[in-house]
Structure 1
Amino acid sequence: MTLEWRHVIVHSADPAALGQWWAEALGWVVVHTSDVEFAIAPASGRLPGMEFVRLDEPKQGKSRLHLDFVPDDQDAEVARLVALGAQRVDIGQGDQSWVVLADPEGNEFCLLGRRSD
């Protein structure tokens, strides 16, 4: 059996707004929109992508799944994403080399330290 990873699904109160935020944050393109979903990908036809699906229930507690990103310059990316609307969050990580942020709807993600070549 072969599996193809298609999307990470993110439940959202406002799929278009959150999806557009992530498209800008990642430099990805919008590949599908409807009243209840908004999909982005690294490029048209390229997978995996992220699909934001309307869910009217509010987020409760810490996310059980989050994404990790490795930037070229952690400080610059933290500043850029905070300027876009991300927030620094403390999920009990303590003093670590990574930074935990949350998107505008409170979904946590991490910016790891510098890439090792």
Structure 2
Amino acid sequence: MALQWEHVNVDAADPVALGRWWAEALGWVVVNDSAEEYEIRPARDRLPGLVFAPVPEHKTIKNRLHLDFRPDDQDTEVSRLLTLGARHADVGQGEQPWVVLTDPEGNEFCVLATRRS
């Protein structure tokens, strides 16, 4: 049996707005702009993608699954993401080499330290 990772589903109060935010943050392309299933991918024919779907409730607790990103320059990327609307988050991580941020709807993600050669 072979499985291919297609996408990660993200619950959203406003799928279009959140999907657009992530598309800009990641430099990805929109492959479906429906308010019921807004999908972005690294390129039109590349997987995996992110699918944003509407839910009536708002996020209330820390995510049990989150995305980690490894930048070329952590400080530059954190500043860029904050300018786009991300916010710093404290999920009890203490002093770590990664930075925990949230997207505009409060979903946590991490910007890891720059990889050493």
TM-score normalised per structure 2: 0.98
Q: Which amino acid aligns with 2:11?
A: H
How much does 1:79 deviate? 0.4
Q: Which amino acid aligns with 1:103?
A: D
Q: Percent identity?
A: 62
TM-score normalised per structure 1: 0.98
Aligned counterparts of 1:69 and 1:24: Cα–Cα separation in 2: 15
Aligned counterparts of 1:54 and 1:116: Cα–Cα separation in 2: 39
Provide Cα deviations, 1:7-57, integer angstroms capped at 9, x if missing partner: 000000000000000000000000002131200000001100000000111
- Does residue 15 of structure 2 align to residue 25 of structure 1? no
- Aligned residue pairs total 117
Structure 1 runs of 4+ off > 3 angstroms? none
What are the ranges of 5 or more consecutive residues in structure 2 without an aligned counterpart?
A: none
Aligned counterparts of 1:7 and 1:87: Cα–Cα separation in 2: 24
How do 1:11-90 residues align onto structure 2 when only pairs under 5 Å count?
11-90=11-90
Aligned counterparts of 1:115 and 1:15: Cα–Cα separation in 2: 32
Aligned counterparts of 1:88 and 1:58: Cα–Cα separation in 2: 19
What are the ranges of 5 or more consecutive residues in structure 1 without an aligned counterpart?
A: none
Aligned counterparts of 1:91 and 1:35: Cα–Cα separation in 2: 30
How much does 1:91 deviate? 0.3
Aligned counterparts of 2:22 and 2:69: Cα–Cα separation in 1: 13
> Does the Cα contact within 8 Å between 2:37 and 2:51 map onto a contact in 1?
yes
How much does 1:116 deviate? 2.6
Aligned counterparts of 1:71 and 1:4: Cα–Cα separation in 2: 25
Counterpart of 1:112 in structure 2 is 112
* RMSD across aligned positions (CA): 0.7
